Amino acid sequence: MEMAKKDYAYAVGRIRVLETKLLPVGFFERLLNTTSLDETLRLMGETDYGSKDCDADFENILEEQLLEVYHFLRRQTSDAPELLVFLRRWDIHNLKLLVAAEAEGHPSRLGVTPFEELEEMVTNSEYTELPLEFNEVLENLPEGGPERAAALDKAYYGYGRRILGKCSQLLGDYWQTRLDLINLQIFLRLRNANASTKEFFKFMVEPGIIESEKWAELFNAPYQNLALLLSNSPYQNLLRGGEEIFKYLPFLERETDNFLLEIIKEAKMISLGIEPLIGYLLAKEREVLNLRLVFAGKKNKLPAETVRRRLRNVYF
């Protein structure tokens, strides 16, 4: 372990330099104040994103940026298991496209295993090169598409807990929080759709600190009961906006993203170990998400205030 920390010391130094190039909150405000999409693109020319052809498909530009970051971090860590946890979510996305008929979207280039290789694995029913949890689900897939997608999500979050829970207090805490907040989103989405408790258990992922039984007790209870649970948990700050968080899911998604960011920000205080690299990875993903929200708003001519309410906090 001591040798691993020494190996990351150089990488952490490089990360500290890259962190200074992350887009600050004021830059997103400047983007929101542009009067046209062309002006927005010209402003992007002041950033690292401007080194690309901004007249091209901007979504591809964002994906290319993430791809460069992922490749850099994989080189710096020699594909450390902790890092791969965060990249494997794209493998799950691609596996859903391959095995869940209702899955939507396009194949991603961002995963650990190329889409073509995953396609070959599915064709040959040979999954030994994937994490154990993925392997077990793929060998025993449920019948329906949504059920298959849910099983893959459960496998992914179980895999993450296995890896991160034993390697780092910060990353373990981050992942446990992520489990609870994912379940909170699933809980409210299904409850607001008048689904049953049975449906919730079908889709919920492995619990964090909030046990399955507690979610079941609350499923048909008033919102005040859920607010009481959260107020007596580490997640009490989610209630700062009142019970609106239970009814407007985009607001909940923004607040949970911000809550997770506050946890991983502690990585900035760590001088050795892989945590600062994971922190930078998540910060860059947050930056790309915010750019996506801004450009979608510009394309659809949404009011700046509408987009502003959707933006997530930044790492610095």
Q: Where are the domains of the chain?
A: 1-80+274-316, 87-167, 171-267
pLDDT (0 to 100) of residue 280: 98
Please, which pLDDT band fits residue 144 given cuts at 50, 70 and 90?
confident
Check residue 120 and report its DSSP letter. H
**What would the pLDDT profile of 223-244 be if each residue is shown by its tens digit?**
999 999 999 999 999 988 777 7
Cβ-based burial of 264 (10 A; exposed 0-12, middle 13-18, buried ≥19): buried
Tokens describing residue 226: 């859920």
Span 105-123, average pLDDT: 95
Where is 162: in which H helix or E strand?
helix 145-164
- Cα separation, 179 vs 247, whole angstroms: 20
pLDDT in tens, 150-176: 999 999 999 999 999 988 999 999 999
Question: For residues 157 and 164, what is the distance between their CA atoms, to the nearest angstrom?
Answer: 10
- Which homologous superfamily is 1-80+274-316 in? ATP synthase (C/AC39) subunit, domain 3 (1.10.132.50)
Average pLDDT over residues 65-75: 96
Other C-beta atoms closer than 10 Å to the C-beta of 310 total 17
Residue 291 tokens read as: 């750019």
Stronger pLDDT, 5 or 123, i.e. the higher one = 123
pTM of the model: 0.92
What span, in angstroms and rounded, lies between the C-alpha atoms of 314 and 316?
A: 6
> What are the angstrom distances between the C-alpha of 211 and each of 149, 239, 263, 313?
22, 20, 21, 29
Hey, what CATH topology would domain 171-267 get?
Answer: V-type ATP synthase subunit C fold (1.20.1690)
Q: How far is CA 167 from the centre of its chain?
A: 20
**DSSP character at residue 236:** G
Cα–Cα distance for residue pair 294/299, rounded to 1 Å: 9
